[in-house]
Amino acid sequence: MTDSPLSPLVDRADAPAEPPRPPDDLGLTWRPLRRTDAQALTRLFNAIEEADGAPYRTAVPETEERFDGDWHDPATDTLGGFDADGVPRAYAQVTALPGDVRTIRAFLDGGVDPQWRGRGVGRAVLAWSEGRGRQLLARSTAPVPGRLAVHVQDSATATARLLNAAGFRAIRYYDDMRRSLAEPLPVVETPAGIRLAPWTADLEEQVRLAHNEAFADHWGSEPRNAEQWAQHRSMFAPSWSTVALDEATGEVAGYLMSGRYEQDWAVNGFSFGYVELLGVRPAWRRRGLAPRLLVAAMEAYRADGMEYATLGVDSANQSGAHGLYERLGFEAAHREVMYSIEL
């Protein structure tokens, strides 16, 4: 075993003793976010999403999920800026996931009410977020890469300028793709020795382990522990989700998890089912299982009256997923960009 050329991440994170608090002259009062803020925060999120041209709108249950998970500490990892009437006008949340081993990541999420932009609030929110993110990365003594990551819509040009000015750089692009279900679906046979089964609770742990194996060679993917896997399920649609089982061994060979985001249908102008996750374990690849799972999902969506199937994909995915989706009739509609500082 050779020594890593990297020093421990704690030595490279350049973490401040305290994240820089936003200045007092911005006209906002700052405090950590609370679950009881969920309704008001959702209104803020929606205003930001509309202004930035996002093809989605956060729902209250999704906002509430931000406070779930033992790895979250809202008291230290969130910040809200409230006006004189107690209305949130800016927010920040920094998340470090417990399963990271290959690259230790801190995800920075934040935004400013469109009516409060141009006053320096965004710079202050980003500075606090970066400081807290560096603190979270500094908890690791592993000699592995670290990453401060921000996901933004390609259409959010003002945010892109802010990130570039702060030293973040665009390193990855993710396409939102869609496929009309009014068009005939391709006929794809289930591979020999494979049985497609409904998504059930007793398969969850097997699917989680299958996911970690299937995505081990994907850029930016890290293992998910059991608690992570169970979180953020408010929009999960089990009736649109499928598990592929090896008939001889009973092992999970692949899986497709779907979401039902009804609050996004009006924004996009059509109803749809969303492919949350699609994975095939290495031993079962190159047998047509991924397209079979996708067609099964599209059949389920269409049977429930959906007009489109949608999904998101890394545009540089080395598995060839982008090409697979195009061959099945998916077309790119929106793009999200990951900006990062690599440590």
The residue ranges of every structural domain in the chain are 9-167, 177-334
Q: Write down the pLDDT at residue 198.
A: 97
CATH class of segment(s) 9-167: alpha beta
Q: Write down the pLDDT at residue 1.
A: 37
Q: Write down the pLDDT at residue 39.
A: 98
Equal fold, 9-167 vs 177-334:
yes
Can you state the angle between helices 121-137 and 157-165, rounded to 10 degrees?
60
HEC sequence for the chain = CCCCCCCCHHHHCCCCCCCCCCCHHHCCEEECCCHHHHHHHHHHHHHHHHHCCCCCCCCHHHHHHCCCCCCCCHHHHEEEEECCCCCEEEEEEEEECCCCCCCEEEEEEEEECHHHCCCCHHHHHHHHHHHHHHHHHCCCCCCCCEEEEEEEECCCHHHHHHHHHCCCEEEEEEEEEEEECCCCCCCCCCCCCEEEEECCHHHHHHHHHHHHHHCCCCCCCCCCCHHHHHCCCCCECHHHCEEEEECCCCCEEEEEEEECCHHHHHHHCCCEEEEEEEEECHHHCCCCHHHHHHHHHHHHHHHCCCCEEEEEEECCCCCCHHHHHHHCCCEEEEEEEEEEEEC
Q: Write down the pLDDT at residue 4.
A: 56
**86 phi-psi bin (left φ>0, alpha ψ -120 to 50, beta other):** left
Please report where in the chains the tokens 């979401």 appear, as a residue: 259
Please report where in the chains the tokens 């608690």 appear, as a residue: 227
Q: Give CA–CA dist 44/196, Å, rounded.
A: 41
Q: Write down the pLDDT at residue 2.
A: 42
Q: Write down the pLDDT at residue 133.
A: 98
Count, residues in the chain: 343
Output the CA–CA distances (angstroms, integers) from residue 236 to 231, 246, 294, 334, in the order listed: 10, 24, 16, 22
For the domain 177-334, what is the CATH code?
3.40.630.30
Q: Give CA–CA dist 162/327, Å, rounded.
A: 37
Q: Write down the pLDDT at residue 269.
A: 98
Give the CA angle between residues 6, 8, 13 to the nearest 5°. Answer: 100
- pLDDT digits (tens), the chain, 343 positions: 345 589 999 999 999 999 999 999 999 999 999 999 999 999 999 999 999 999 999 999 999 999 998 888 999 999 999 999 999 999 999 999 988 999 999 999 999 999 999 999 999 999 999 999 999 999 999 999 999 999 999 999 999 999 999 999 999 999 999 999 999 999 999 999 999 999 999 999 999 999 999 999 888 889 999 998 998 999 999 999 999 999 999 999 999 999 999 999 999 999 999 999 999 999 999 999 999 999 999 999 999 999 999 999 988 766 678 888 999 999 999 999 999 999 9
Q: Write down the pLDDT at residue 335.
A: 95
